[in-house]
Structure 1
């Protein structure tokens, strides 16, 4: 697997919001909510605990972790 290139700028709120929407729509997260402080509240399961993420960078890190997990457990289709 190729290493991810380093980012040149900090993730934007819009980018984090887009990733959060995809994760919820694909049912990889139950909920993701941006609060006025810039923190994100995420919940993996309806009755599960709510995690507090510090900001947009943490949302993108969570999305990357979920993607990595999905790709590592999925059988190769090549």
Structure 2
């Protein structure tokens, strides 16, 4: 089976598809904060708090453990993963 090219990821059938919008720059703390606010507002996360160290403390549900994300990039990646999950599960139910 052929390996995915750079900037591509493999899907279920082994076909390489383009990665979701590859970044040209690292996200800022403000961008990560905006995504955190949206995720909490839409109840996709229970909480997301920026720590003084630049890490993000996130909790999916009130009873779930707190996860530590290492910086703005990790927060934006989490938002992208949540969006991807929503889109793929929504398509499965159609």
- Structure 1: runs of 5+ lacking an equivalent: none
What's the TM-score once normalised by structure 2's chain length? 0.75
- Number of residue pairs matched? 76
What's the TM-score once normalised by structure 1's chain length? 0.90
Q: Distance in 2 between matches of 1:54 and 1:47?
A: 22
Q: CA deviation at 1:2?
A: 5.4
Other structure's SS at 2:48 match = strand
Structure 1 outlier segments of 4+, above 4 Å: none
Change (3 A) 1:70 1:9: same
2:35 to 19, 25, 42: 19
Q: Which has the higher contact order (CA 8 A, sep 6+)?
A: 1
- Structure 2: runs of 5+ lacking an equivalent: 1-16
